[in-house]
A and B are shown apart, each in its own frame.
Chain A
Amino acid sequence: GAGVSQSPRYKVAKRGQDVALRCDPISGHVSLFWYQQALGQGPEFLTYFQNEAQLDKSGLPSDRFFAERPEGSVSTLKIQRTQQEDSAVYLCASSLDTGHQPQHFGDGTRLSIL
């Protein structure tokens, strides 16, 4: 497609369940980013891939969060043993590279943990 696609758009899970969020970046985009946006806040960086290599995961809040991009295109963000504080919108962005090219964002996945 023309833009970054994220699925599902909405996800409700019970505390303790595992969830998986998917991101399809723009075709040909080398760089892929995940951000977490809490209600009323700006997005906060989680992790970054260049092709299939995860070059920065400094923003992942705990070892319950795991991201992968095995073939350098689609990426999955997995959260294990979800907690209520994980409730947020998870945004994915992609760019041609990490130099002068801006990031293009998907519409996000709104995750609610009950």
Chain B
Amino acid sequence: AQSVTQPDIHITVSEGASLELRCNYSYGATPYLFWYVQSPGQGLQLLLKYFSGDTLVQGIKGFEAEFKRSQSSFNLRKPSVHWSDAAEYFCAVGTGKLIFGQGTTLQVKP
């Protein structure tokens, strides 16, 4: 079955600290992978996507993610978190119809 697992429901980091959000997927074919961010009352904004090629992809707002086929993972990273990064983060997989994880809520401490 196709699925996405985000093991961390809630993460708190201090402003300026590094961040890694985990994502594991189960998908029958070569996956298209995405990370989206959602602020309260807003829709989803695309941070980055992986289709093929270089397994380290760069996105907006200083985010990057690394595709590891052997681990079925697509973890999101940022070297230095800003207070404005506090939001809900969703990992998704699919071509067309997307399958989303449950999301990780990021809280940033001043």
Contact = CB atoms under 8 A, between A and B. Distances in A.
Interface of A: 4, 31, 33, 35, 40-45, 48, 56, 59, 91, 93, 98-100, 102-108
A33 B4 CA distance: 19
Nearest to A47: B97
Interface residues of B, number: 23
B95 A99 contact: yes
B87 interface: no
B28 interface: no
A107 B103 contact: no
Please provide the 10 A-B residue pairs with the shortest distance between their CB atoms, ordered closest to farther.
A42-B100, A98-B96, A105-B43, A105-B44, A107-B43, A45-B97, A43-B100, A106-B43, A42-B103, A102-B46
B43 A4 contact: yes
A43 B95 contact: no
Determine the main DSSP class of A at the interface with B: loop
B102 A41 contact: yes
B90 A43 contact: yes
Contacts of B90: 42-43
A104 B46 contact: yes
Contacts of A104: 46
A59 B99 CA distance: 11
Contacts of B43: 4, 91, 105-108
